[in-house]
Structure 1
Amino acid sequence: MTIDVRRAAERFRTESEGRTTWHSFSFGAHYDPGNVGFGALVAHNDELLPAGTGYPDHPHADVEIVTVVLEGALRHTDSDGRTGVLRPGEISRTSAGAGIVHAETTEPGVRTRFVQTWLRPDESGGPSSYAVAEVGLPTTLTEVVGPAGPLGVGTRGARLHLARAEPGELALPDAPRLHVFSATATATLGDRELVPGDAARLVDEGGRTLTVERPGLLLVWSQAR
């Protein structure tokens, strides 16, 4: 049973072409053999894109990509002809399958912040897919990706719970693995404070209560073994 708190200031940071990315796990040029993922999560990136920036066409294969926009708007286009603009209160899931090329860019004049998680899929190959769901900003933790949510993901046992939490107690999911990310909230977990940008990795500590001190957005991934 463990609770491992990772502080915002300890995250890897990449600055390139106007973009700033804070990485929760090893990514690109940043490598730590002791921090290559958590369960099925292999990337958890906090992205800040000034207006006029983004990621032009780039490939993915055999990865499930879940994107939550916190501020602004993010345009998605891909090699299968799909396109759309993701805004706060919406989430998207891209299943790369055997391979997909996509681009993610800001809308004209709009600064954008989003959190993107990559997960290992249960099965490799297959067709790619892209889906968007409007989930709003629930004040209690709500499953938005998983069997009880509006979006599915090709990783069994992985679920994303989201809340724009108000001050008070919030029950965490009862699951063997939890990744709790405070995007904009301040909260306490036991005797540990989480401020915006902090994350906690819980193993066999599911069902705990989180106390929200200052309102804000929380993203919680729960995973089976």
Structure 2
Amino acid sequence: MAVRVGIVTFPGSLDDRDAARAVRLVGGTPVPLWHGTHDLDGVDAIILPGGFSYGDYLRAGAIASLSPIMSEVISAASTGMPVLGICNGFQMLAEAHLLPGGLIRNDHGTFVCRDQRLRVENTTTAWTSAYAGAVSSVAGATEITIPLKNGEGGFIASADTIARLEGEGHVVFRYLDVNPNGSMNDIAGITNARGNVVGLMPHPEHAVEPGFGPDTTDAMRSGTDGLPLFASALTALLPA
């Protein structure tokens, strides 16, 4: 039976269909979920997609984090269900306190859209295990290129929280070459201690098909550096 991955649509979601396509490409079954209900429809994993939920009023992700379905997402995450937040979804996870820290306005004050190099620093989470040996490595670290697009992507946290994230290996993705939004310690994505909840600002769902995602130096994986992220969740959920 295919793994069922719920993808929550909020008013202002933009990338829910892209996330659904990524799930289908790795053999999963995307299940549309609506922000205004308490029904997770028996899914095995959850994706909070990118966009501008509720127009980013108050703070990006703040209103969405109080949507009815988020109480179910929080409960499911506490049981170990894999939950992924992409861009606006990462902002929701932080606002819901499923992940520490917060996301603020880019330090240059403008929206950024670019192909972004990242280093995958933790391949033990439910969403990153397939990166271990799946793509080329430089100096022993896995590096990927996926699109980035955000206006409020600057990751911030207290000094103690940053030290804990770094010391306990909870930084999952780190910006390379350029810090596009002023994130502390070049942090692009993090995980919770259990490893089932991951949030990142760049968009892996836009790098899942050859010829459509960013070019890379490795022609064998050009345009598909985001695919292992979705494959990881299916691997984590399928019976051994």
Q: Same fold (TM over 0.5)?
A: no
TM-score, length-scaled by structure 1 = 0.34
Q: TM-score, normalised by structure 2?
A: 0.33
Greater strand content = 1
